[in-house]
Amino acid sequence: MGDQFWTHITVWTYLCLVCIIIVCGSEDNLFEDLGLEVYPDIRKINISQEEYTRMMRIYLDNLKNESKNTESIPDLLTFKSERKSWRRRRLYFPIKQAQSEVTVDSSELRLLAPAIPNTDLLNISIYQILNRRRKRFITEKTVYPSPIEPKWWDFDLTSATSSWMSGERNLGIEIDCLGCGQDFHPLEASINALVLPKNHQRSKRGIERTDCRSNDPKRKCCRHKLQVDFKKLKLGEMDSIIQPKTYEAGYCRGRCPLNYNYATNHSRIQSIVHRMNKTVPRVCCAPSKLTHLEILRVDPHDYTKLHVEKWDNMVVLECACS
Ligand SMILES: *[C@@H]1O[C@H](CO)[C@@H](O)[C@H](O)[C@H]1NC(C)=O
Ligand SMILES: *[C@@H]1O[C@H](CO)[C@@H](O)[C@H](O)[C@H]1NC(C)=O
Ligand SMILES: *[C@@H]1O[C@H](CO)[C@@H](O)[C@H](O)[C@H]1NC(C)=O
Ligand SMILES: *[C@@H]1O[C@H](CO)[C@@H](O)[C@H](O)[C@H]1NC(C)=O
Ligand SMILES: *[C@@H]1O[C@H](CO)[C@@H](O)[C@H](O)[C@H]1NC(C)=O
């Protein structure tokens, strides 16, 4: 089969899935639909801090290498938990207000949990400690412990890390876990933050020729913004994607009047034929130029390793009538 064929299949499968998921909350398997042979069993994932750091650096280097604007690529900062505070399920990390103003792009707590007998599933909640009495809910997640070996878990700690870096008092976090046992404490724990300078140039992509410029609802075919948040797709296997958490995918919509922005000569002909014979559909607004997305995800053949890969045709750059 030709490349073009797969281009179309991939893009349409992806775009349709996004629609289906938004509309119906369907349980399709995105990994299968994207043509990835193996999709991960998230219960088995066990990525060490060392592997995470090593592969995250490679991923960020790749992004920097590809980007015209390296200022828009975050840096990785790692803060190890201080042992003294490993009591009563509390952890403290030496994160202070940043020297210069920064934006926390995302931040993850990674911890090595001890073996926990008699269960293979636990619900964990994490709170930010505000003072003696008050704590703020941060996140909740189901994790899959091992009854015989330690295992790595990770949690999204972006909001807490952000607040500490912008000057809020840092009293650490509390891990709430029914079923972890009274004296539960992690064997290791680190916070990994991806940070950007505050006033970095936001746009990772320059303005393209077909980007929409007005809010006219009846406007002609153009590229609209569409921020995709993998987590909000509510597909379990998305937990195996470490980066990016969200990305600007874009979509195409708008009218295609006569002689407006044809993708190909064929589109031009089809548009003329349509005027004479309505059985032939009119041309419609669709992606005409796409680009890949760099992905850092769990290696589906080895649950202790991460893998940097390119997923083709994930981002719309330009739209045209075709
Ligand atoms: C997870 O990885 C750690 C090493 O980082 C290892 O000690 C542990 O045994 C592994 N756990 C499982 C369940 O494979
Ligand atoms: C950076 O990109 C160039 C081409 O743009 C490529 O030849 C080189 O191998 C890349 N380096 C890394 C570290 O990926
Ligand atoms: C964990 O939470 C889910 C819902 O989020 C619930 O269905 C499940 O029963 C809970 N499991 C345990 C062991 O508490
Ligand atoms: C077809 O399209 C190309 C570029 O879109 C254009 O340069 C060319 O003149 C068109 N016509 C023919 C007959 O190839
Ligand atoms: C219109 O197009 C359809 C589909 O190609 C074709 O079957 C039909 O004969 C055409 N009608 C006319 C009037 O050309």
- The predicted structure's pLDDT at residue 209: 76
CB of 121 shorter than 6 A to ligand 3: yes
Q: What is the DSSP string of 149-162?
A: S-EEEEEE-HHHHH
Q: What is the pLDDT of residues 33-62, one digit of tens each?
A: 777 766 778 889 999 999 999 999 999 999
DSSP H stretches of helix in 125-221: 158-165
Q: Which residue(s) pair with 190 in the sheet? A: 80, 110
188-197, 202-211, 233-242, range with the lowest pLDDT: 202-211
CB of 119 shorter than 6 A to ligand 3: no
Return the higher-pLDDT residue of 224 and 202: 224
203-321 matches 74-197 in CATH topology? no
Indicate which ligand has the atom closest to the C-alpha of 320. Answer: 4
- The predicted structure's pLDDT at residue 122: 92
Q: Are 154 and 109 in contact (CB under 8 A)?
A: yes
Question: What's at 197, amino acid-wise?
Answer: P
Look at the domain 74-197 and name its fold. Answer: Jelly Rolls (2.60.120)
Residues 6+ apart with CB under 8 A from 216: none
Cα of 121 from ligand 3 centre, angstroms? 8
Closest C-alpha among 176, 12, 195 to residue 101 = 195
Tell me which DSSP letter residue 317 carries. Answer: E
Closest C-alpha among 314, 318, 317, 240 to residue 14 = 314
Indicate which ligand has the atom closest to the C-alpha of 279. Answer: 5
Class of the domain covering 203-321: mainly beta
CB of 123 shorter than 6 A to ligand 3: yes
Residue 276, H or E segment: helix 265-276
For ligand 1, residues with CB inside 6 Å are 46, 48, 146, 149-152, 304
Going by alpha carbons, the residue nearest to atom 2 of ligand 5 is: 279
Tokens encoding 197: 């300078």
Q: What is the pLDDT of residues 55-68, one digit of tens each?
A: 999 999 999 988 87
Where are the chain's structural domains?
1-33, 74-197, 203-321
